[in-house]
Amino acid sequence: MRVRILCSITTIIVFLIVASCSKNNNGDLNEKKVLLISKKWELSGLKLKTDSGTVIEDAFTSLPAYRKDDYLLFSPDSTYEYNDNMILRIDSTSKILDAGRWYFIDGGRSIYMRSEIYSTTYNPPIILELSPTKLFLETHYPDGSVTWTTFKAQ
């Protein structure tokens, strides 16, 4: 009888722990989504590691002016846009550079992004930092190269 009671209590405790963890993960994802969506995330930094291992600490400064003010928008309906801002690309007919669908993967650690313009799925960036003012992403590519991209909220 004692063994059954102990097993029942253990089962209830395990269930409560699992249920509370699931609730916290959903809460964390909702918090991340709230931080990510409906903000204009302007490109503010870029660091690269090439496939040969060379690291370029500040690749942002060498970007053309029209790239330095590009921004990313994540919407609540799981769509995204990557847009030209004030300084436009030469001969550009649209401010929208890319658009598609997004959602969190890996328990909210990464972002799945599928372009509807280019019909491609991007390598999912890992979220290194997400705050009300900063989005910092790390993206790994099959050739071994890596990009670290920083966006600031506008």
Helix (H) or strand (E) holding 24: helix 2-36
Number of domain units in the chain: 1
**Cα-based angle 142, 69, 150 (whole degrees, multiple of 5):** 45
Residue range 84-139, pLDDT digits in tens: 988 777 877 789 999 999 999 999 999 999 999 999 999 999 999 999 999 999 99
State residue 8 phi and psi, 5-degree precision: -65, -45
Residue 108: CATH number of its domain: 2.40.128.270
Domain extent for 53:
37-153
The number of C-alpha atoms within 13 Å of 32 and in the hemisphere containing its C-beta is: 21
Confidence band (pLDDT; 50, 70, 90) for 25? Answer: low
pTM higher than 0.75 for the full model? yes
Residue 22 is assigned to a structural domain of this protein = no
Return the closest-CA partner of residue 154 out of 71, 89, 47, 75. Answer: 71
